[in-house]
Structure 1
């Protein structure tokens, strides 16, 4: 009679133990998955090589109302792999304006390690992209060594592939400058595309591909959505400006005719026409008075309006040292300015 209850209590204890083991494993796996889903330390994700360590516990009331029993699961350790990702974008707000024949023209890019481990990147520039209207000549790539985002000649570092490939921490960015020469044959309004590419030195490939054991901290390296390579494009746009100058003359002789005889007045007309899509700055026209003639004072006009001969009276015209000058200032492309002045044949 005394033994039967003891057997029954043993069966109850076995049942509790079995339930505890089942709950132990359920807690272990469930909590481990929750830990994986909630450990984003930065935009690139949890740092590669981080150990995610987790265990679970099960508690139950001891038989007979004693102290509750707590049972620990085994520890589950998961090492975070390195995700290889990169982004390259142009930092210029729009097309960079250039003119034919210019050298050392700068396009600016931002390279960002969007993976979760420290990674080196190899860079290359493509100046022969199809679909644009002219190709530049690649000069050099420069790394922004002082981090101010502006190209500083003699301060920033010349980039040599395989020698000083930038090594970036997760989420770290670096500015890269590409210097180019604009060909003299480039025409007004034409554009050129220059593409900067970056590839992870660990490797590239299809997203999800694995480089076993090559990740930071001893884990694997896994190709991210970018394929561990990216490219961004910047553009040059030509704004070529020039001016044509056409001179003509009409003659009024003292007898009411048009013969160039002594005493006849020559009216010279100068027509300046700007060409191209950009402004011409500090445009000035000058014309020396020819030999055997005498300048007729206060005869300069601009667009039909009279200008004075004085040098410093505030208007655009002047007569000095035997020459007529008219300062036109900044003139937009595609506009015309007409100047006249008179001389008398001696």
Structure 2
């Protein structure tokens, strides 16, 4: 059976960067929030509509990914779009698929194209699907493109949130970014995806929802942050991973990960996930990649945006073994293990 690897990684950011204070200065609701103190978020990139949207940012990330690879767009067998919004975040367009439009823009005329939406777990879900296609011999080379334009719900919070306990507080942590990951056949164990596992605990779906506001013309995101971050939810990723490793005859300590990447929701949340992991796995966590301070919470693009940042700074050696842990509303949990070589270049 074929194995897959992470062959290349591209990113794209909106042209304009804001400090957290600059974002909060536009708050018209009369609310007062200490977002930077609570989350550690200092700056973030936000699209400027209508010049920038999910399709334009996704195209840039896809082209960046191809430039870093040994492939052309014509070599791609499939493109999967894994973001949570299409176009500018206000106008949800489901046909044609975003993946189809991005494929057309970059000249991937031979690629099948479809969209996958799974909240902040979308990127890992798409990689899970693509990795299975490659292992089954259905495709040789594919690309996951995740363009997250989620700042429109921040606009809703700026207009409506009034209290630090407000369910719209997490919307003040969001930002925009796009990533594109090329996945192809592995040639050796020094550059391959070892496993990807995903699960959904659907009973927790009401804890975080996005919908049109019934008070203004904005989109809003309503999150029960306390319930979502309670210990039973924080521990789920580690229990899932522990059980998976037991079936493989291994343990977290035996995996010898060089780095771990959690969802970049906030500094305190990341530390709590790590603490839960140490308890469940009975092992220390490896060094954590953390970029929430400079990029904020960019949804489903967050893990690979962080990975690209550390690679570009020369802090990820070739042959590093990475553990990526998606957590998302739904609630969705997962884990991915990969040894990377081509990504580091």
Both structures adopt the same fold (TM-score exceeding 0.5): no
Tell which structure's C-alpha radius of gyration is larger.
1
TM-score, scaled to structure 2: 0.21
Relative to total residues, which structure has the larger helix share, 1 or 2? 2
TM-score, scaled to structure 1: 0.21
Higher RCO, 1 vs 2 (CA within 8 Å, ≥6 residues apart): 2
Relative to total residues, which structure has the larger strand share, 1 or 2? 1
